[in-house]
Amino acid sequence: MDKSIRKIVVVLIFIILLPALFFAVYEINSLSSNERIIERIYNNQVEAILYSVNQFSEDIISSWRSKIKTMRDNKKSNVMKDEIKKFLHQNTAVKFVFFGDSVGIKALIADEGTPNEIDNVLNHGFTTNTTKIERLYNYSREGYNKIEPIPINLKDRTLIISVIETTNGKEILGVGIDPLLFIKQILSPKIQSVGQNEFIISVFNKKNRENIYSTEGINVNNLQNEKDLWLLPEYSLGIVLKGGTIQSLVKDRAETNLILLLLLIIILFVGGWIVFRNIKKEIALAKIKSDFVSNVSHELRTPLALISMFAETLEMGRIRSEEKKNEYYTIISHETARLSRIVNRILNFSQMEAGKRKYNFANVQLNTIIEEVFNTYKFHLQNKGFKFTSLPDNNIPLIYADKEAVSEAIINIIDNAVKYSHDRKEVELSTGTMGELVYVKIKDHGIGISVQDQKKIFEKFFRVSSGYVHDTKGTGLGLSLVKHIMDAHKGEITLHSTPGSGSSFILKFKTSQ
């Protein structure tokens, strides 16, 4: 690889690709840690939501506790009972209220629908939960108003007890709750508000997983996180994110990020590659241009040197023989013609580059053009030891072309045939038809062109830089002019060439309209 190109590659790697790779690795790493953070935040939020529902239940029951306690304080028994009955009437989720001690129940106020066997059941509940009751007493002694559920064998009722301070000392206050009513009447608005349209929250029976209430229709088994309801031990709260699980959301997000990241890397690589290719092209062009300047100077210098040398010799009048003089004049005129051809070629090229070249299209006979070219170049080529033949096909139709430009293209190719043939000096011109097109073929038996160079020789300034060509003068403009002319004619150029055995350039033209 060229030294300057290697330098560019290193620079590109350092300024584009390495940072891009570092960035990608860093991003991929942080993606997974982001996922963990998101999941943690989500879990915390879910915890907070479930906690707030539990806390709300506790607040409600605590507020009932203090209301009932106030009714109990300093009231005659029948007034208190009336007030509590009123309370039960207002809060239908509460089915009965009682007061008692660690031994059993002292007073029970129940709504009308509550069965009479409550007494026995409650007493049984008391005796089987003595430790819990003892603990509540302890809490109360330390100043905490704790409330706690205790299991009782009373269908559809949950018993919640706490210890209250009365004028008669510490007493147990119990409320019997209808859990279904409690959930539907009291918890549901709270659950709805904490769900905030982002989550589906459900309260369900722990044993049979039957949905009791949910913010939206849901299969209980699809819930993501579950938590017991502290005060309704037979029921649980469950929650799930709307529109998919958090894992799937996080996964989707990570996937999109990863795809974007990959795209970014691909774009960076493609960008880097394009920059590299352009710079490489520019470097090659700069080299080609500097070669061009030296090639042109070289091409101009040789005929100039010959002209001045022979002109000076003639000027000095040393040449006596007319024959010799004529030979010198011919050389001078040949070299002048060569000079003007080179200059013309450069001028044509610059016109062509500027898009200013004008073509005069007309219906012309290709055979006429090659005949003129053949006659003009016959002697020149024969003098150089070439066998120059012309094989026109007399049946070809007229073509629509600029005569001058077509001869210029053919001459350029003949010029090359002469320049790049050294062992077998033969050039053959022929015409013919190929389908709809009319062609002229210029065939030589010269050094030929490698397949790899065949693609490049029509580019401006391009010259094969090795071997025989290296020592032959040229500007690298001839074939690019030919290509330009053929493009202007909407024609085609085909090249068949084998290194070592010669080349055939075929110019194909459209027939006249």
Dig out the tokens for 39 from the structure: 């999941």
Q: Which is nearer to ligand ADP, 14 or 468 (CB)?
A: 468
Q: Which is nearer to ligand ADP, 131 or 452 (CB)?
A: 452
| Helix 18-72 / helix 246-315 crossing angle, nearest 10 deg | 160
Q: Which is nearer to ligand ADP, 248 or 494 (CB)?
A: 494
**CB 462, min distance to ligand ADP, A:** 6
**CB 457, min distance to ligand ADP, A:** 4
Dig out the tokens for 127 from the structure: 């005796």
Q: Which is nearer to ligand ADP, 65 or 345 (CB)?
A: 345
Q: How many CA atoms lie within 13 A of 339 on its CB side?
A: 16
**CB 360, min distance to ligand ADP, A:** 24
Q: Rule CB under 6 A: which residues touch ligand ADP? A: 416-417, 419-420, 444, 446-449, 457, 462-464, 469, 474-480, 503
Contact, 438 vs 366, CB < 8 A? yes
**CB 267, min distance to ligand ADP, A:** 38
First-to-final CA distance of the chain: 51
List 440's β-bridge partners, or say none: 431, 507
**CB 270, min distance to ligand ADP, A:** 32
Tokens 């005060």 sit on residue? 231
**CB 31, min distance to ligand ADP, A:** 55
List 225's β-bridge partners, or say none: 239
**CB 384, min distance to ligand ADP, A:** 15
**CB 292, min distance to ligand ADP, A:** 10
Strand spans (E) along 89-146: 94-100, 105-110
> Would you state the torsion angle of the CA atoms of residues 308, 310, 316, 320, taken in this order, to the nearest 10 degrees?
-170
Q: How far apart are CA 97 and CA 100, in angstroms?
A: 10
**CB 463, min distance to ligand ADP, A:** 3
**CB 413, min distance to ligand ADP, A:** 7
Q: Which is nearer to ligand ADP, 366 or 457 (CB)?
A: 457
Q: How far apart are CA 188 and CA 425, in angstroms?
A: 105
Supply φ then ψ for residue 92, to 5 degrees: -65, -15
Contacts of 31 (CB under 8 A, 6+ apart): 254, 257, 258
Contact, 136 vs 145, CB < 8 A? no
**CB 297, min distance to ligand ADP, A:** 13
**CB 484, min distance to ligand ADP, A:** 11
Q: Which is nearer to ligand ADP, 345 or 403 (CB)?
A: 345
Task: For residue 490, give the 3-state DSSP assignment.
Answer: coil
Supply φ then ψ for residue 497, to 5 degrees: -150, 140
Kindly tell me the number of DSSP H helices and DSSP E strands found in the chain.
Answer: 14, 16
Q: Which is nearer to ligand ADP, 104 or 499 (CB)?
A: 499
Q: Which is nearer to ligand ADP, 174 or 446 (CB)?
A: 446
Q: Which is nearer to ligand ADP, 204 or 461 (CB)?
A: 461
Q: Which is nearer to ligand ADP, 64 or 462 (CB)?
A: 462
Q: Which is nearer to ligand ADP, 138 or 498 (CB)?
A: 498
What is the distance of C-alpha 34 from the center of its chain?
21
Supply φ then ψ for residue 2, to 5 degrees: -55, 145
Q: How far apart are CA 356 and CA 80, in angstroms?
A: 114
- Residue 212 has a CB neighbour count (10 Å cut-off) of 18
Q: Which is nearer to ligand ADP, 220 or 417 (CB)?
A: 417
Dig out the tokens for 207 from the structure: 């044993």
Q: How many CA atoms lie within 13 A of 461 on its CB side?
A: 13
Q: How far apart are CA 439 and CA 509, in angstroms?
A: 6
For residues 67-97, b (16+ Cβ closer than 10 Å) or e, as one string? ebbebbeeeeeeebbebbeebbeebebbbbb
**CB 356, min distance to ligand ADP, A:** 20
Strands 399-401 vs 437-444: parallel, antiparallel or unpaired = unpaired
Q: Which is nearer to ligand ADP, 163 or 477 (CB)?
A: 477
